[in-house]
Structure 1
Amino acid sequence: MRTDRILDDIKSKTDIVDLISGYVQLKKAGQNWKGLCPFHTEKTPSFTVSQTKQMFHCFGCSTGGDAIAFIMKHEHLSFNEALAVLAKKAGVTLPDGSIDRKGIQRNEKIRNVLSEASGYFISQVPRAAKASAYMADRGISAESLERFKIGYAPAGWSNLLRHLRSRGYKDQEITEAGLAVSGEKGLYDMFRDRLMFPIMNMSGHVIAFGGRAFDDTPPKYINSPETPVFKKSETLYGLYHAKEDIRCENRVLLTEGYMDVVVCHQFGFRHAVAPLGTSLTPGHIQKIRTMAGSLVLVFDGDTAGKSAAKRALTLIAQQNLKASVLLLPDNEDPDSYLRKFGAGAFAGLLDKAHSMVSFIFRTATGEKLDAVRDALGLIALVSDLLVADELLIELCDISRMNESTLRDELRKMKQSGATRALPGRAADPRKGNSEEFLLLSAVIAAPEKADYVLSRIDIQDIQDMTVASLFRRFAAAQDRRDLSQILTGAEEDEQRLVTRLSVDPGFDPEYIDKNIEDCFVRIQKRKLDKKIRLAERSDDQAQSNALLIEKQKMIKGQGI
């Protein structure tokens, strides 16, 4: 079968409206369908899909084409990869030699490895009393376990590795899938003794994992590193399961964690999703905007939750999306609240979620005028005049200030560009866990030290997620001297940290070896101190004395 006949066969079995509706919320507009363009930010729908011509075109950014062109651009695939995706959806078998398969083999293998790993993790749950007891204690139903394919990564260094090897997968394929890390003694499992949450793309394929510890020992969560099939800044957990309900509700419920999403869905709130342990990004907002008209941020009511909400609102305003904020009672998250009080009480809280302006006033700690200026700064970021006007009128009602005065102030703010960023920005990360940053800085400054540092540090003990992710990148890199290769596909915060440490390493490069050893001594001392405290709390005098002797020997040996 010739290539053009293959294309005709696939296109004849693919309806472009059905296809694109899986990614964009479309509404009938005369003979065509319209929605917000998924390829650029816009306030008025200019993305048009013709069912009769089986074509799409955006009058805002001029992107257009057929079904294959849409999949290529939206999923960042080559022509051959997009053709294979549509062929599978259409039930068309591609004959050998019909396309160049070299471009899709790697990604297909990665997805196959991840799928096999997901099945392995699921199979381990019944064999692990610890995992089963944990899920029962958290009230997770059998239906939710099956729906989200939750599994368990057993303790040990190479359980998954041995399983995948036995299934014929090569070490390089396992590493490229982000399932194994290289150390001085060879490969070992990335995930160990953790509850496993598969992360899926919009087609339902497993593209990554999130692993949760059974206690609050940091890091509580570990995510897969970015791979050719997984980009963290554009992926939302639960979106595959939530997409149909999101379209029905025309609203997204944005929570903070995997368990929040699972429990929300279990209690009937099936439009809930969550970012993957990171702050909200423009990529996340872009996905949400194409599927729904608004979102509700559901955060913990503590200081950290309020700061996270403020940072998110700044980004949301820039993307012209309407949002409301629900701050839960102290020490509660959607998971715990739903299990304690039920779906009715949670629905009641959602009905009382605060608008963007109301949230700023409710959480303000300074003078009234400061809150007004914060609100005006947020409104100034909104380019959609109708949305901005609606927010301004609400600000008038809440602040009881003259509307013309507020409009004048808003106009001045826009003209001067002096928009106020909402409070809640992160502080210098190096102020805590400085050894992690210094060791990373040493590896950046002297890549030949990477093998030694990686052999002595357990990446899963690293508390800062950005530092841990960068160490994984170094561990997986073939050429650790090439920072551009290591930073390919890296998050913005990872790139910023590397450039910052490159110009400000935090130590004298002449004494890099001493810096590395001092860091490991301090890390070991901190671990011993923690063990000593635990022994003292449990009144284990013998263990406490033994640890104190060990600490004294270490201090004497290192001269500290």
Structure 2
Amino acid sequence: MFSEEVIQKVKEQNDIIDVVSDVVRLKHTGRNYIGVCPFHHEKTPSFTVSRDKQIYKCFGCGEAGNVISFVMKTKNVTFPEAVKVLAERIGIDIEENNDKKIERAKFDKMYNINVEAARFFYNNLRKDEKAYSYFKNRGINDSTLKKFGIGFAFDGWHNLRNYLKAKGVKEEELLNLGLVVKSPKGSIYDRFRNRVIFPVFDYNGKVIGFGGRVLDDSKPKYLNSPETPLFRKGIHLYGLNFAIKTNMDRTVIIVEGYMDCISLHQHGITNVVATLGTALTEYQAKLLKRYVDKVIISFDADVAGQNATLRGLEILKKENFDIKVLQVPQGKDPDEYIKANGKEAFLKLVNNALPLIDYRLKKAEDGINFLNKEMIIKYVNNVANILATLQPIEREVYVKQVAQKAGVSEESILETIREINKKTSKNEEKTNINVDFGQKLYLEPAYVKGERTLLKLMLKDKEFLKIITNLINREDFIVESHRTIYDLIVNYHHLPDDERNSKIDTKCAENSECTKEWINIQELQVKLGEYDVERMIHDCIREIKKFKLEESKKEIMSKIRICESKGLVEESMDLAQQLITIQKEISNV
């Protein structure tokens, strides 16, 4: 891991205003800068950056951190990767310690083994007439086969194993990368046999795994590498290394299959990626966020494909992408369509892709008979839930469209939306208004503020630290990052304040949540002169205990409902007695 000096150097030489400005448009107001938060959707700016303190804080969603945590979260990278990004930004070299060098060497070797495996499969393809013809018959040319490194695994148990062992690769390394499988009886054999092989690259173009497809009706049809140190399902996107190379307009098309992605690339549409046999995940969305702003999703037209589209849309919406849905006519997939109709016809589909709301409204029409009054009511209720999430002007446009479609008045739809919003507002968390920004702020639970206050007092005075550590230990804290900070304060309490805080700051830097809470604790204002400190400490501990008891109460009530549904009378009575005891404890806290 990096030394404390290196981390401090990276933080000191990367001005947070400059780094944040690469992502957020900031406006100078007084001593600080404000902008629209990159971590949640908002219209009115509530994201504040301080040049003096070199920190950021959002008063809308509560995010906070420093220059390193900002890079970690916006680029979706690890702590070491963020430090390297910032180091490269200011042109300094980072020396890795021996442990880090050894770890890097191990990963480099794993990548090299995968490259050798990919070469082996690629060289096999032309040696098997059936496999080579499969791609030729599907219109894939030699240039594309080479670009994607497509290959073939012969029908044998030890072809790859023997090839790589002859190059000095150990069986343990092959097992670790999922290239071979160990049977219950202990025999080791190739994972991929009699399959065409698609190497999977990470965004840097390194081979991290493989996907294999059978050429007959064998099962499973597709087989991917298992979870390995290099390959994790739901993290990577097939073809991303190619899609980000010349993507000037920061737009990407997401398809389902390898062949859809490959075929579109061959036809000159290169901003295409594919999911790797799984539904779109939050990790993949965050990875895309580094490189694109607009996503066009094109999944299969069958029920499973449509359901995957809807799930994918929700995930992409959370990351604030500009989202559209491309629908291929006659239920064809992109590969079939572009081969039959050509590049220009497919680009026309891209240009006519439906915005998110239009797609959801169109899906709401499925199965609706507009001559049936009950179905019209169902349709209007479904649509009202969709329109309730829109801004007023956007909503007005769509309300007119829906009213004409359903044959009802605009006012009746608006009234339904108002009723939905009333119910939603009642269920929302309590909010507070920040006078500087006019933003609704989440009112954090009392126990969170209580824990922060205790940690702040431990920092302020060694006598307070002694009192608090005699009353509460790390395991009593609810927030994990607070437990970490508690330990750090105790470990470094003997150091001068500046040195202690610097040590804690460096240790917290490795975890963005820990950094966030460390900043929140430092920024917390505790007016000691107005209160009895010992009473304040006991009040904070009381809030923590109360929350834990309330959580226990909820758990017991849930168990009681389960027991009652199963007719377990005695168990229900025992749990009811426990509930009474906890309720008494809550009232006595």
Superposition TM-score, scaled by structure 2 size: 0.57
TM-aligned CA deviation for residue 139 of structure 1:
0.9
CA distance in 1, matches of 2:420, 2:70: 42
1:373 aligns with 2:381: yes
Question: Given residue 253 of structure 2, which amino acid in structure 1 is its aligned partner?
Answer: L
CA distance in 1, matches of 2:407, 2:226: 50
TM-aligned CA deviation for residue 119 of structure 1:
2.2
* Alignment match, 2:242: 241
User: CA, structure 1 residues 155+69, in 2 after alignment: closer, same or farther (shift >3 Å)?
Assistant: farther
CA distance in 2, matches of 1:58, 1:238: 36
Question: Given residue 192 of structure 2, which amino acid in structure 1 is its aligned partner?
Answer: F
Matches within 5 A, 1:399-414: 399=406, 401-414=408-421
* Alignment match, 1:194: 195
Question: Given residue 139 of structure 2, which amino acid in structure 1 is its aligned partner?
Answer: G
1:356 aligns with 2:364: no
CA distance in 2, matches of 1:168, 1:11: 43
Matches within 5 A, 1:303-322: 303-317=303-317, 319-322=319-322
* Alignment match, 1:205: 206
TM-aligned CA deviation for residue 292 of structure 1:
3.4
**SS of 2:165 mapped into structure 1:** helix
CA distance in 2, matches of 1:151, 1:16: 47
CA distance in 2, matches of 1:313, 1:97: 43
TM-aligned CA deviation for residue 333 of structure 1:
0.9
User: CA, structure 1 residues 289+86, in 2 after alignment: closer, same or farther (shift >3 Å)?
Assistant: closer
TM-aligned CA deviation for residue 342 of structure 1:
0.6
CA distance in 2, matches of 1:96, 1:191: 37
TM-aligned CA deviation for residue 242 of structure 1:
1.0
Q: Of the two, which has the highest radius of gyration? A: 2
User: CA, structure 1 residues 328+10, in 2 after alignment: closer, same or farther (shift >3 Å)?
Assistant: same
* Alignment match, 1:272: 272
TM-aligned CA deviation for residue 296 of structure 1:
2.3
Matches within 5 A, 1:449-464: none
TM-aligned CA deviation for residue 42 of structure 1:
3.6
Two-structure CA RMSD over aligned residues (Å): 4.5
CA distance in 2, matches of 1:33, 1:232: 37
TM-aligned CA deviation for residue 334 of structure 1:
0.6
Question: Given residue 209 of structure 1, which amino acid in structure 2 is its aligned partner?
Answer: F
TM-aligned CA deviation for residue 345 of structure 1:
1.6
Matched residues, number? 407
CA distance in 1, matches of 2:46, 2:224: 34
- Aligned residues of 2:257 and 2:274 also touching (Cα < 8 A): yes
* Alignment match, 1:281: 281
- Aligned residues of 1:306 and 1:363 also touching (Cα < 8 A): no
**SS of 1:233 mapped into structure 2:** coil
TM-aligned CA deviation for residue 263 of structure 1:
0.8
Question: Given residue 334 of structure 2, which amino acid in structure 1 is its aligned partner?
Answer: P
CA distance in 2, matches of 1:114, 1:64: 38
Q: Deviations over 1:242-294 (max 9, x none)?
A: 12455x33432121111101111111222221211112222233334454343
* Alignment match, 2:517: none
- Comparing 95-104 with 196-205, greater Cα deviation is found at 95-104
**SS of 1:231 mapped into structure 2:** coil
User: CA, structure 1 residues 190+319, in 2 after alignment: closer, same or farther (shift >3 Å)?
Assistant: same
Question: Given residue 213 of structure 2, which amino acid in structure 1 is its aligned partner?
Answer: R
CA distance in 1, matches of 2:289, 2:401: 23
User: CA, structure 1 residues 77+42, in 2 after alignment: closer, same or farther (shift >3 Å)?
Assistant: same
CA distance in 2, matches of 1:348, 1:20: 37
- Aligned residues of 1:35 and 1:290 also touching (Cα < 8 A): no
CA distance in 1, matches of 2:18, 2:199: 26
CA distance in 2, matches of 1:327, 1:209: 29
CA distance in 1, matches of 2:149, 2:251: 25
CA distance in 2, matches of 1:49, 1:146: 49
TM-aligned CA deviation for residue 170 of structure 1:
2.1
Question: Given residue 243 of structure 1, which amino acid in structure 2 is its aligned partner?
Answer: I
**SS of 1:297 mapped into structure 2:** strand
- Comparing 386-395 with 223-232, greater Cα deviation is found at 386-395
Identity of aligned residues (%): 28
CA distance in 1, matches of 2:207, 2:123: 16
Question: Given residue 244 of structure 2, which amino acid in structure 1 is its aligned partner?
Answer: K
CA distance in 2, matches of 1:102, 1:121: 29
- Aligned residues of 1:194 and 1:211 also touching (Cα < 8 A): yes
Q: Deviations over 1:474-504 (max 9, x none)?
A: xxxxxxxxxxxxxxxxxxxxxxxxxxxxxxx
TM-aligned CA deviation for residue 58 of structure 1:
7.2
- Aligned residues of 1:17 and 1:49 also touching (Cα < 8 A): no
CA distance in 2, matches of 1:255, 1:56: 39
TM-aligned CA deviation for residue 136 of structure 1:
1.0
Superposition TM-score, scaled by structure 1 size: 0.59
1:323 aligns with 2:323: yes
**SS of 2:297 mapped into structure 1:** strand
User: CA, structure 1 residues 12+154, in 2 after alignment: closer, same or farther (shift >3 Å)?
Assistant: farther
* Alignment match, 2:132: 132
Question: Given residue 368 of structure 1, which amino acid in structure 2 is its aligned partner?
Answer: I
CA distance in 2, matches of 1:120, 1:9: 45
* Alignment match, 1:169: 169
- Aligned residues of 2:296 and 2:323 also touching (Cα < 8 A): yes
- Aligned residues of 1:357 and 1:394 also touching (Cα < 8 A): no
**SS of 2:342 mapped into structure 1:** helix
* Alignment match, 2:528: none
* Alignment match, 2:525: none
CA distance in 2, matches of 1:358, 1:72: 33
User: CA, structure 1 residues 181+249, in 2 after alignment: closer, same or farther (shift >3 Å)?
Assistant: same
* Alignment match, 2:142: 142
User: CA, structure 1 residues 413+47, in 2 after alignment: closer, same or farther (shift >3 Å)?
Assistant: closer
